[in-house]
Amino acid sequence: MRGVSLSRQNIVLIGFMGSGKSTIGRLIAGRLGFQFVDTDAVIVQRAGMDIAAIFARDGEEGFRELETAALESLDHLQRSVIATGGGVVLRERNRELLRELGLVVLLKASEEALFERVSRNTKRPLLQTENPRETFAKLYAAREPIYEAAAQWTLDSTAIPHRAAAEAVIGEARRVFAWQDAP
């Protein structure tokens, strides 16, 4: 597959908030015996505060700077599953970094399913608005084509269980990286 970093054999998960990147990523990593890295967790650890506090202090642009720095810090990883934040694809530099890290997999789901999932979490900084549903719809419409362009493979996880989604991603990784029996 053109553009995939075959030497690193990492799986990089992108997608809108609520698409299952962290949950499915952990399942993939566990199944393959890979390290699991969540870029949001890297940012929180480096900043010493949660994402909402970063947004409050530095705004979205400040958070995006930290996000790029976090991606750059992962350039040594091999045989890892990397779950990214929903807005990571907004910067061209980040899209380049994602491709350098490994196979970029878009986990997508219907807008309705995603909103239902994220509306249970009151800590989403971008949805702290007067009309969260409207904000969500605008973000979704703006980001969806960027995700599609950044992805090297796409899986619609709207109606499939997390374990089945993980197995589908593993199957594609086996094909792309030409893994025989292991991992």
Domain chopping of the chain, boundaries: 10-177
In this prediction, residues 113-118 reach a mean pLDDT of: 86
In this prediction, residues 119-132 reach a mean pLDDT of: 68
- Long-range contacts of residues 166-175, Cβ cutoff 8 Å, at least 24 apart: 166/24, 166/27, 166/28, 166/31, 167/31, 169/11, 169/13, 169/24, 169/28, 169/105, 170/28, 170/31, 170/32, 172/103, 172/105, 173/9, 173/11, 173/32, 173/103
Class of the CATH domain delimited by 10-177:
alpha beta
In this prediction, residues 1-19 reach a mean pLDDT of: 83
Query: Is 70 exceeded by the pLDDT of residue 131?
Result: yes
Under the banding of pLDDT at 50, 70 and 90, the label for residue 5 is low
Query: Is 90 exceeded by the pLDDT of residue 116?
Result: no
In this prediction, residues 52-67 reach a mean pLDDT of: 93
In this prediction, residues 28-33 reach a mean pLDDT of: 97
Each residue's pLDDT tens digit, 73-83: 999 999 999 99
In this prediction, residues 37-61 reach a mean pLDDT of: 94
